[in-house]
Amino acid sequence: MSSLKALLWDVDGTLADTERDGHRVAFNQAFSKAGLEWHWDVALYGKLLKVTGGKERIRYYLDQFNPDWPRPEDLEGFIAGLHKQKSQIYVDLMAQGDIPLRPGVMRLIREAAASGIRLAIVTTTTPANVDALLDQYFGAEGKVIFEVIAAGDVVPNKKPAPDIYQWALEQLDLPATACVALEDSHNGLRSALGAGVKTVLITLNEYTAHEDFSGASLVVDQLGEPNTPCHLIKGEVAQLQCVDVDLLKQLHGVF
Ligand code: XBP
Ligand code: MG
């Protein structure tokens, strides 16, 4: 067993609740700007989250929920243009400060960095979206705190494929067994486990609360803060106030 060397952080749904009030809103504004009468309400967006990646999600929407829409000849180019517009809107929304970090995220990042644990981002989202979030909450320090940012199209297959975790591990030059992943979704969990990361901590959100988290080390509602403790959903732990470095080391030490 190797000691815990790095935390691998998912972004959407884990660092911040970005999906409902960030990505979804940005998609709808981009549709409207493009003159499309598409609208992804909160419930529909939950169904669309089955597919990771914004461009892939638009295609899935057309296939499954809007098959009669007359497709342009260059559908791929059309989707890419629409998604570019959406990404710009999302970055602007993030810069307005309307999408806060989830409870305990800043605390745990600071605690891990102070104890010499390396930090990486492992996400499906577009790199500019990660930059916008790091700029908003960490300023220039963000790129120092997170030494690897694995994001978006840098790999051909998005989560639940293991590719993005494998890519991040290569950049860190660490074995999967030296890391703990923090995720919020079934797709993210499968991706981490598939890359050999055995210790995965899940923080639930409203979209993922009913997903299957078999194989996760621990499922909690949030990381928690000393004055707002987290709640155990699944897994075994002697005492739980909030998720801290000691708890992650304990979970990692099981393997
Ligand atoms: C995140 C995603 C992303 C975002 C949208 O999944 O699937 O596609 O929803 O971002 P995860 P883009 O949290 O598992 O990484 O539009 O930039 O793809
Ligand atoms: Mg996620």
Q: Provide the β-strand partners of residue 199.
A: 180
The CATH code of the domain that includes 63 is 1.10.150.240
Ion ligand 2 — residues with CB < 5 Å: 10, 12-13, 184-185, 188
3-state SS assignment for residue 119 = strand
- My answer on whether 36 and 155 are in the same domain is no
Counting ligand 1 atoms within 8 A of each CB, the residue from 11, 23, 164 with the most, and so the one to mutate, is: 23
- Would the pLDDT of 185 be above 80? yes
Distance separating alpha carbons of residues 108 and 46, to the nearest angstrom: 28
CATH classification at residue 216 = 3.40.50.1000
Q: For residue 169, how far is the Cα from the chain centroid?
A: 16
Are residues 11 and 30 located together in one domain of the fold?
Answer: no
What are the backbone dihedrals phi and psi of residue 130, each rounded to the nearest 5 degrees, phi first? -70, -45
**Interval 24-35: pLDDT, tens:** 999 999 999 999
Shared domain for 112 and 160, answered yes or no, is yes
Can you tell me the distance from the alpha carbon of 173 to that of 156, in angstroms, rounded to the nearest whole number? 20
**Distance from the CA of 141 to the center of ligand 2, in angstroms?**
23
Listed residues 38, 67, 95: the one ending a domain: 95
120: DSSP letter = E
By DSSP bridging, strand 118-122 and strand 6-9 are parallel
pLDDT tens digits, one per residue of 196-246: 999 999 999 999 999 999 999 999 999 999 889 999 999 999 889 999 999
Whether residue 29 sits in one domain with residue 114: no
The pLDDT value recorded for residue 105 is 98
Residue ranges lining ligand 1, Cβ < 6 Å: 10-13, 19, 23, 52-54, 87, 123-126, 129, 159, 185, 187-188
The type of residue at 214 is S
- Residues 132 and 247 occupy one common structural domain: yes
Mean pLDDT of the chain, nearest integer: 96
Ligand approaching nearest to the C-alpha of 183:
2
Residues 83 and 173 in one domain: no
Residue-number span of the structural domain to which 28 is assigned: 19-95
CB 48 within 8 A of CB 24: no
Q: Taking residues 135-139, report their average pLDDT.
A: 96
The DSSP H or E segment spanning 122 is strand 118-122
pLDDT at 2 over 90: no
Note whether 196 and 138 are same-domain residues: yes
The answer to whether 41 is a known catalytic residue is no
Q: Are residues 44 and 157 in the same domain?
A: no
Quick check: 190 pLDDT over 90? yes
The reply to whether 45 and 88 lie within a common domain is: yes
pLDDT of residue 221: 98
Q: Are residues 180 and 213 in the same domain?
A: yes
> Is a pLDDT exceeding 90 seen at residue 1?
no
pLDDT digits (tens, 9 = 90+) for 65-99: 999 999 999 999 999 999 999 999 999 999 999 89
The percentage of the chain sitting over the pLDDT mark of 70, rounded to a whole number, equals 100
Q: Report the number of distinct structural domains present in the chain.
A: 2
User: pTM for the full model?
Assistant: 0.96
